[in-house]
Amino acid sequence: MFGSTLVKKESGSASPDSDSDQRFERPKGLRGVYYHPITQIIMLGFVCFLCPGMFNALTGLGGGGQMHATTSANSTCALYAMYAFFAFFSGTVNNKIGAKWTLFLGSFGYALYEGSYLAVNIHPNAGGFVVGAGAALGVTAAFLWTAQGSIMLSYATEAQKGVFISIFWGIFNLGAVVGSAVSFGQNFHSTTLRTIVVVFLILTLIGVIIPLLMADPDKMPRTDGTKVVTPRHPSWESEFYNLWVAIISDPMILLLFPMFFASNHFYTWHHSIQSAGAAGVWRMDAIGFPYMNIFISTWCLVAAGLVLSFPMIYLRVRDTTVLDDETILKMELEQVQARENAK
């Protein structure tokens, strides 16, 4: 769209094989505004505001009384069940095709799911389509949130990560404001649900387009001039192999799984293992499980998750990420690429 933006500065101390240690001249003018990391984070925030944000607002309306409660619960169960499975592989997809295109693919499911609300409003017997759309959304949501995390954290310098996270979540959570405003307008003006769904669907389709307008991560310099480290897109075989190695080489990660599970278990009222918790509790609600039992299970899971995750949090979690981590990542990616080229 704008051509190459990275012009390497002269640096006698930088290694010629390590872009993460070198500084690049930032573009000027409108191009500089477009390629500024904060601009890209704002665009990312609006993608999630218009896609998962509108999804949250629409589901918060409860189908406007047009959808059977069991259909709604089963579609959400299918959503999180598929999310739980595909979240394990979404990082592989993100590494293979890049964060920009992963974000683009991930936004489609939200439009499909909101379209299913319109379908069931027109044809009340289209409950099966709603459940199927929920399952499809589970797949694409895993892609979207993986790309979101990749972009949000990789574009920031160490000192900017808190600011970037705040900007993104501030924009994204405006969806709750929109949902409340639409709900108020629906009750005040007696607006039909079909009109509301059409408006939400149009807004979501705008969100689907935004990733196509975002910058290529390969062309993104940070504010300090360092280049964003991106994967070298190895083969699918090596991606799945590295996924398996990551799981078995650091078993302490397993200690976090109960906490992930518990964090979404209560979503009847309010990605991977986390989404499995949401799938379970939505299914419990659909079959009429006593609410007091669900309430007790929520607190038991939270307590168990915190206890089991404490060793991992205490021993492994750090307040900052040192530059060496990015350098090691780049070296590993170059080694994988070298092995692929040797085949």
The Cα–Cα gap between 242 and 260 comes to 22
Six token digits for residue 110: 């939200």
Token pair 């001249």 is at which residue?
25
23-50 CB burial, b ≥16 within 10 A, e <16: bbebbeeeeeebbbbeebbbbbbbbbbb
CATH class of the domain at 31-249: mainly alpha
Q: Which amino acid is at 262?
A: A
The Cα–Cα gap between 284 and 295 comes to 11
Spatial CA neighbour of 63 closest among 122, 115, 121, 132: 121
Q: Which amino acid is at 71?
A: T
Does residue 179 have a pLDDT over 50?
A: yes
The Cα–Cα gap between 255 and 309 comes to 5
Mean pLDDT of 169-188: 73
- Enumerate residues 6+ apart whose C-beta is below 8 A from 229: 19, 20, 154, 326, 329, 330, 333
Does residue 216 have a pLDDT over 60?
A: yes
Does residue 4 have a pLDDT over 50?
A: no
Spatial CA neighbour of 142 closest among 72, 189, 92: 92
pLDDT at 145: 93
The Cα–Cα gap between 49 and 86 comes to 22
Select the more confidently predicted residue: 19 or 283: 283
- Rg (Cα) of the chain, in Å, rounded? 22
Model pLDDT for residues 248-280, shown as the tens digit of each residue: 777 777 777 776 666 555 444 444 444 444 445
Does residue 338 have a pLDDT over 80?
A: no
Model pLDDT for residues 26-79, shown as the tens digit of each residue: 778 888 899 999 999 999 999 999 999 888 888 766 554 566 767 877 888 889
pLDDT at 269: 42
- Taking a C-beta distance cutoff of 8 angstroms, is the pair 95, 234 a contact? yes
| Mean pLDDT rounded to a whole number for the chain | 75
Tell whether pTM > 0.85. Answer: no
Token pair 């949250």 is at which residue?
56
Beta bridge pairs of residue 7:
25
Q: Which helix (H) or strand (E) holds 186?
A: helix 174-189
Select the more confidently predicted residue: 155 or 238: 155
Does residue 215 have a pLDDT over 70?
A: yes
Spatial CA neighbour of 90 closest among 275, 315, 339: 275
Does residue 168 have a pLDDT over 60?
A: yes
Does residue 8 have a pLDDT over 70?
A: no
- Taking a C-beta distance cutoff of 8 angstroms, is the pair 171, 164 a contact? no
- Enumerate residues 6+ apart whose C-beta is below 8 A from 333: 229, 231, 232, 234
Does residue 85 have a pLDDT over 90?
A: no
pLDDT at 222: 86
The Cα–Cα gap between 76 and 138 comes to 9
Select the more confidently predicted residue: 291 or 330: 291
pLDDT at 311: 76
pLDDT at 49: 92
pLDDT at 1: 43
The Cα–Cα gap between 284 and 301 comes to 15
Token pair 């489609």 is at which residue?
108
